[in-house]
Chains A and B, each alone.
Chain A
Amino acid sequence: EAGVAQSPRYKIIEKRQSVAFWCNPISGHATLYWYQQILGQGPKLLIQFQNNGVVDDSQLPKDRFSAERLKGVDSTLKIQPAKLEDSAVYLCASSLGIVDQPQHFGDGTRLSIL
């Protein structure tokens, strides 16, 4: 089965610019997650979708970050405007959403803010 696809793999922007990341989960996976992984740290959940509805966005900085999953499949994560502290790897993961079924991760997008 195809894994979680993310693009782009790398992105370099200047602070105050905007950026968007795209994620295509594994087919049939109802739950989609976006994580932020800062260098030297473990991934931190930003937002969780169940189909096209938001389940948890308590750690999403809503003044600058937004995410959507309009048709319950693909998802985009946007940052506007970017700050230096947003430099990180942004990981997308998906799961069947059933208890005990693991999350499957994409290779991530490495964002560098100049």
Chain B
Amino acid sequence: AQSVTQLGSHVSVSEGALVLLRCNYSSSVPPYLFWYVQYPNQGLQLLLKYTSAATLVKGINGFEAEFKKSETSFHLTKPSAHMSDAAEYFCAVSKTGANNLFFGTGTRLTVIP
């Protein structure tokens, strides 16, 4: 069975501060892992994906995530938060690539000016 747990439904950071959004996964096979961002009243946009290549994955808008098998984690980071980063972020896992995604419950990021 596949599942993800996102720790912290709400995260607030100051503009310019480090962003860290946590995601732990459970998978019976080597997983594919994804981070999506959702702005208000919009669909989900792919930030980055891990597909068993490099463990440090770089995505769009300055985000990156590191796959740590020993910790079953795939945390999302960005060195310096921008006001435009305020959104809902979802971690997702799949055992079959882009199909059959199982999403976490999401983390709402607030950026304080």
Contact = CB atoms under 8 A, between A and B. Distances in A.
Interface of A: 4, 31, 40-45, 48, 55-56, 91, 93, 95, 97-108, 110
Interface of B: 9, 32, 34, 36, 41-46, 49, 51, 90, 92, 96-101, 103-106
B45 A105 contact: yes
Contact of A99 (B43, B98, B104, B105): B98
Nearest to A96: B98
Contact of B106 (A42, A44, A97, A98): A42
Given A105-B44, A106-B43, A108-B43, A100 B51 contact: yes
Contact of A4 (B32, B34, B43, B99): B43
Given A4-B43, A107-B41, A100 B32 contact: yes
A38 B45 CA distance: 18
5 contacts: A42-B106, A43-B44, A48-B100, A55-B99, A97-B99
Given A99-B96, A101-B97, A43 B45 contact: no
B99 A43 contact: no
Q: Is the interface of A mostly helix, strand, loop or mixed?
A: loop
Contacts of A102: 34, 46, 49, 98
A42 B98 contact: no
Contacts of B101: 43, 45, 103
Contacts of A4: 43
A95 B98 contact: yes
Contacts of A56: 100
Nearest to A40: B105
Contacts of A42: 90, 92, 103-106
Contact of B97 (A93, A100, A106, A108): A100
Given A42-B92, A105-B36, A108-B41, 14 more contacts: A4-B43, A41-B105, A42-B104, A42-B105, A42-B106, A43-B44, A43-B90, A97-B99, A100-B49, A100-B51, A103-B98, A105-B44, A106-B43, A108-B43
A106 B96 CA distance: 22
Given A41-B105, A100-B51, A91 B43 contact: yes
